Amino acid sequence: MTELQAERATETLTTPRDDAASKGWRYLDVLIALAAFAVLASLPFLSSSKALLDFVIRCSAYGLFATSLNLLVGYTGLTSFGHGMFFGLGAYSFGLIMQRTGASIPLAFVATLAITAIVATVIGAICVRLKEIYFAFVTLAFQMLIYSTILSWPSFTGGDQGLRGGIPRPVFIGIDLSNHVQLYLFSCALLVLGLLAMRQIVQSPFGYTLRMIRDNAKRAAFIGIHVWRAKLAIFVMAALFAAIGGMVMALFVSGAYPEFAYWTISGEGIFINMLGGVTTFLGPMVGTVLLLILNDTVTRFTDYHGIVLGIVILFFALGLRKGLMDFVVDWAKQRREKGGSA
């Protein structure tokens, strides 16, 4: 028996416990989350602007979506062009369940996640086998298929008009989502909790398995990792968080529109990730805020926001060549190194 094998035998006798350092990081993340929520929660009391609250709600929806996309793109190396399908699926499933059944919001929430999980498992099982650019194409194809189905089934989905008639909001555990401030707080809570959960995934051993797959999938297989299974698992998990983003959007607009499943949502997800940066956890969040501000500002000043948006994207793509947070992190690292050698 080798020394390593002998050690392995004794290992089962010790009880696995997170050591102090790991615990420390977890508490830090929770603390940051609580602080962020506190700041967000205070906004309605500091400002009477409905537009500001609306902006944050939209950031919550898109932020959840974009961060979930980064689980695939940044952490696993899976470039999906069709991730928006789960955003749309979440919005429509939630909207339809609320409109057609008498379900409570929590029940509809859980049911939507269940539906998304099933669809994502089927689609993922087909797609994750494929290499890179082909994975991207097939995910896009599935998204457009879902979009076409939504459009061509007006009796069920409202066709190109979308779900109309609003989404009923029965009160649950004292929360009344027809109240704007309560909807706002609910969205912020979902955002913070969703980000915390994704943070845990990314910093868990599974998260490092994903990084290994991203860096060198072939080698990962050669050290015993079941690559296909891991990819499918993260595909489904990312889909769930995208669906939550879709649900927030559905509540916000009180309906669901085919645009939520159109490929431009996937495209915006990718741009948000490139804008904010894929190597940091909060990069997508930064990108979300940037893109939404950009969209809102530009449309206010000019009809030709395509040109402005295009130029901004070129600045990041050809100029900075990396997302904002990536740029910041690299710049900070360079400064530290320069300072150290001075």
Partner 1 sequence: MLEIRGLSKSFGGVRATDNVTLDFADGSLTAVIGPNGAGKSTFFNLITGAFRPDSGKILLDGYDLAGSAPAEIVRHGIGRAFQVASVFPSLTVEETMLAAVGADQRRAGVLHRRFPLPEMRDRAEHAMELLGLAGKRNRVASTLSHGDQKLLDIALALVLDPKVLLLDEPTAGMGPEERWRMIDKVRELWDTQKITVVFIEHDMDIVFKIAPEIVVLCYGRILASGTPAAIRSNAAVIEAYLGTEHAGGSA
Partner 2 sequence: MDLDALAGCLASSACLVTQTTSGLIIGMLLFLVAVGLTLIFGVLKVVNFTHGAFYMFGAYFAMTSYQATGSFVLAIVCGAAGTAILGLIFERVFMSRVYGANVLMQLLVCYAFVLIFDDVVRLVWGPEFKSMGMPAAFQVMPLFIAGGVVPPYYLLLIGVALAAAIVLGVGLARTRLGKVIRAAADNPGMVSALGINTGALYGAVFALGCMLAGLAGALAAPVRSLTPGMGFSVLIESFIVTVIGGMGSISGALIGALLLGLIRSFGSQGFPLFTDGLMYLFMVIVLVARPTGLFGKEVA
Residue 336 in contact with partner 1, rule: CB under 8 A: no
| Biggest CA pair distance of the chain | 74
Q: What is the Cα–Cα distance from 49 to 60, expressed in whole angstroms?
A: 17
Residue 33 in contact with partner 1, rule: CB under 8 A: no
The single residue among 128, 136, 201, 291 that binds partner 1, judged by CB under 8 A, is 201
The DSSP-derived string for 72-125 is: HHHHH----S-THHHHHHHHHHHHHHHHHS---HHHHHHHHHHHHHHHHHHHHH
Residue 118 in contact with partner 2, rule: CB under 8 A: no
3-state helix, strand, coil in the chain (%, to 5): 80, 0, 20
Stretch 70-89: interaction string toward partner 2, x if CB under 8 A: ---x-----x----------
Residue 79 in contact with partner 1, rule: CB under 8 A: no
CB atoms within 10 A of CB 188: 22
**Which range in 64-72, 113-121, 160-168, 210-218 contacts partner 1 by CB under 8 A?**
210-218
Q: What is the CB-side half-sphere exposure of residue 60 using CA atoms within 13 A?
A: 28
**Which range in 27-35, 93-101, 123-131, 163-171 contacts partner 2 by CB under 8 A?**
123-131
- 3-state secondary structure (DSSP) of residue 134: helix
Instruction: List, in order, residues 6 or more apart from 136 with CB less than 8 Å away.
Output: 79, 80, 81, 82
Stretch 229-268: interaction string toward partner 1, x if CB under 8 A: -x--x-----------------------------------
The single residue among 134, 153, 156, 208 that binds partner 1, judged by CB under 8 A, is 208
The single residue among 104, 178, 182, 200 that binds partner 1, judged by CB under 8 A, is 200
The single residue among 304, 331, 334, 337 that binds partner 2, judged by CB under 8 A, is 304
The single residue among 50, 129, 164, 219 that binds partner 1, judged by CB under 8 A, is 219
Residue 18 binding result from partner 2, partner 1, none, given CB thresholds of 5 to 8 Å by partner type? partner 1
**Which range in 4-12, 30-38, 142-150, 175-183 contacts partner 2 by CB under 8 A?**
142-150
Stretch 254-293: interaction string toward partner 2, x if CB under 8 A: ---------x---x--xx-xx-------------------
The single residue among 124, 158, 162, 207 that binds partner 1, judged by CB under 8 A, is 207
Q: What is the Cα–Cα distance from 71 to 89, expressed in whole angstroms?
A: 19
Beta strands in the chain (DSSP E): none
Q: Which is nearer to partner 2, 195 or 270 (CB)?
A: 270
Residue 2 in contact with partner 1, rule: CB under 8 A: yes
Measured CA to CA in angstroms, residue 212 lies from 18, 109, 220, 224, 284 at distances of: 22, 33, 6, 12, 21
Residue 318 in contact with partner 2, rule: CB under 8 A: yes
- Name the amino acid, one letter, at 200: Q
Cα angle 98, 88, 142 (rounded to 5 degrees) comes to 130
Residue 341 in contact with partner 1, rule: CB under 8 A: no
The DSSP-derived string for 209-241 is: HHHHHHHHHHHHHHTT--HHHHHHHHHHHHHHH
Which two tokens mark 222?
Answer: 């050669």
Q: Which residues bind partner 2 (CB under 8 A)?
A: 73, 79, 126, 130-134, 136-138, 141-142, 144-145, 148-149, 151-154, 159, 263, 267, 270-271, 273-274, 304-307, 309-311, 313-314, 316-318, 321
